[in-house]
Amino acid sequence: MVKALNCPNCAAVFNPSNKSCEYCGSYIITTDSKQFKYDLNEFKPTYKKIFFHEIEMGTNELPIRSGMANIYYSATKSDGGRLLLTNQRLIFCAHALNINPNLYWEISLKDLDRAENGLNLLISQRIKIFDRKDNETTFVVYGGKTWIAEIECALNQY
């Protein structure tokens, strides 16, 4: 059974299985998949706005990949949530079960210098994101090599 939500754009009741709000025409992505690669042909120019959960995509911004992730601070501290790569930015949003559920992190692709593989932990991997000032942010994700490839591809097309 699919739970009804509210559209982040107009607050109308929204059924996630419909993908778009019948009232305002916004496309709302609500996947719970461990990893998800988006088909860019799915996003029609008729959609008024595109939302990833409650994050509004910018003008001409389209999602590329999303998945469960932890923002990694140390061996004993991390926050879980979802990582989203778009054609304009990389975004992390913590889920509600964290001590810090309002945690939000993002970097524009224009400020992203590179992404590198980190420690491989069987089914999950660390990926290291570096900005142009060489500041590092580490995430633990499923399919780290795929994330790196997708980020590199997005950087090359940006």
- Residue-by-residue DSSP string for 36-64: EE--GGGS-TT-S-EEETTEEP-TT--EE
Give the pLDDT band of residue 1 (cuts 50, 70, 90): very low
Backbone angles phi, psi at 150, to 5 degrees: -65, -40
Q: Percentage of the chain with pLDDT > 90?
A: 36
Q: How far apart are the first and last CA of the chain?
A: 39
DSSP one-letter code for 151: H
82 bridge partner residues: 68, 93
143: left (phi over 0), alpha (psi -120 to 50) or beta: left
Q: Per-residue pLDDT tens for 83-135? A: 999 999 999 988 877 667 678 899 999 999 999 988 776 666 899 999 999 99
pTM score: 0.82
Torsion angle in degrees (nearest 10) through CA of 75, 78, 84, 86: -70
**Do 21 and 51 touch, CB atoms closer than 8 A?**
no
